[in-house]
């Protein structure tokens, strides 16, 4: 089984605000993301939302398209490794005064562990549902 930590195609910091009818949100998709394999030998810039094959192709780790000739076999090592997407972000002080603050994930990889400040927030097992 492949485990991916924080593969986040779309990540939002959601804060419930009683004073307004909509939540205050911060889209982390435009943050500066990196992706790293399990032993740290590969660490490249990443695009979120996006995917590992595109990120490795952009970084010239993968030199040809995965769908060209036998690359689906040659690049199988990518699927067998564990990949960690990470970013840093700051929040406004007013967010820390709220009773509830949510991290909302759309389209996480099928099996993931989500960490914030090295604390496990949860694990996922289905790519096609919203996690909060």
Residue 9 in domain: yes
The domain of 27 spans 4-124
Number of H helices, E strands in the chain: 3, 9
Confidence of residue 93 (pLDDT cuts 50, 70, 90): confident
Task: Write out pLDDT tens, residues 106-130.
Answer: 778 778 898 989 999 889 888 888 7
Residue 131 in domain: no
Task: Write out pLDDT tens, residues 3-61.
Answer: 444 444 444 444 433 344 446 677 787 779 999 999 999 999 999 888 999 999 999 99
Residue 120 in domain: yes
Structurally, how many domains does the chain consist of? 1
Using CB atoms within 10 Å of the CB of residue 23, give its burial: 0 to 12 exposed, 13 to 18 middle, 19+ buried.
Answer: middle
Residue 78 in domain: yes
Residue 34 in domain: yes
Residue 96 in domain: yes
One DSSP character per residue, 37-80 reads: ETTSS-EEEE-SS--HHHHHHHTTSS-S-TTSTTHHHHTHHHHH
Q: Which of 36, 55, 54, 46 is nearest to 11 (CA)?
A: 46
3-state percent helix, strand, coil for the chain, nearest multiple of 5:
20, 35, 50
Contact (CB, 8 A) for 127 and 49: no
Residue 130 in domain: no
So what's the pLDDT on residue 23? 60
């Amino acid at each position: 089984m492949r485990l991916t930590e924080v593969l986040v195609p779309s990540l939002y910091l959601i804060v419930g605000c009683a004073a307004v009818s909509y939540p205050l949100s911060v889209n982390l998709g435009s943050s500066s993301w990196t992706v790293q394999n399990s032993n740290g030998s590969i660490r490249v810039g990443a695009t979120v939302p996006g995917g590992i094959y595109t990120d490795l192709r952009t970084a010239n780790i993968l030199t040809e398209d995965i769908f060209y000739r036998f690359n689906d076999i040659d690049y199988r090592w990518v699927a067998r490794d564990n990949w960690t997407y990470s970013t840093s972000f700051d929040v406004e002080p007013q967010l820390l005064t709220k009773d509830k603050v949510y991290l909302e994930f759309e389209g996480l990889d099928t099996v993931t562990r989500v960490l914030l400040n090295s604390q496990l927030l949860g694990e996922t097992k289905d790519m096609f549902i919203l996690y909060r």
